[in-house]
Structure 1
Amino acid sequence: MALLDLSALNPHLRRVPAWLVYGVLALPAPWLLYLGVTGGLGVEPIKALEHELGIWALWLLIAGLTVTPLRRHAGVNLLKFRRALGLMAFYYVALHLATWLLLDVQILSQIWADIVKRPYITVGMAGFLLMLPLVATSNSRAIRALGPRWRALHRLTYGVALLGALHFVMLRKGLQVEPLLYMCAVAGLLLLRLPGRRRVQRFA
Structure 2
Amino acid sequence: MPAVWRRLIIFSVSLVPFLWLVYRTVTQQLGADPAKTIVLFTGEWTIYFLFITLSVSPLVKLARWRWLMTHRRMLGLFALFYALCHVAAYLVFILGLDLSRFFSEMVKRPYITAGMPAVLILIALGVTSTKGMMRRLRKNWVKLHRLVYAALILGWLHVLWQVRSSYFEAVLYGVIVLVLLGIRLYGYRRRAR
Pairwise same-fold verdict (TM > 0.5)? yes
1:48-63 to 2 correspondences below 5 Å: 48-63=37-52
Q: CA deviation at 1:185?
A: 0.2
1:4-153 to 2 correspondences below 5 Å: 12=1, 14=3, 16-77=5-66, 78-106=68-96, 107-153=98-144
Q: CA deviation at 1:91?
A: 0.3
Q: CA deviation at 1:14?
A: 4.3
Q: CA deviation at 1:198?
A: 5.0
Q: Percent identity?
A: 36
Q: CA deviation at 1:103?
A: 1.0
Three-state SS of the structure 2 residue aligned to 1:193 is helix
Distance 1:196 1:49 in 2: 38
Distance 1:30 1:113 in 2: 32
Q: CA deviation at 1:132?
A: 1.9
Q: Does 1:184 align with 2:175?
A: yes
Which amino acid in 2 is paired with 1:92? Y
Q: Is the 8 A contact 1:33 1:49 kept in 2?
A: no
CA RMSD across the alignment: 2.2
Q: CA deviation at 1:30?
A: 3.3
5+ residue gaps, structure 2, are none
Q: Does 1:160 align with 2:151?
A: yes
5+ residue gaps, structure 1, are 1-11
- Residue correspondences, number: 191
Which amino acid in 1 is paired with 2:72? R
Q: Is the 8 A contact 1:169 1:175 kept in 2?
A: no
Q: How high is the TM-score relative to the length of structure 2?
A: 0.90
Flag the 1:37–1:143 CA change in 2: closer, same or farther, 3 A: same
Distance 1:25 1:167 in 2: 23
Distance 2:152 2:137 in 1: 23
Q: Which moved more, 1:85-94 or 1:72-81?
A: 72-81
Distance 2:121 2:4 in 1: 32
Three-state SS of the structure 2 residue aligned to 1:60 is helix
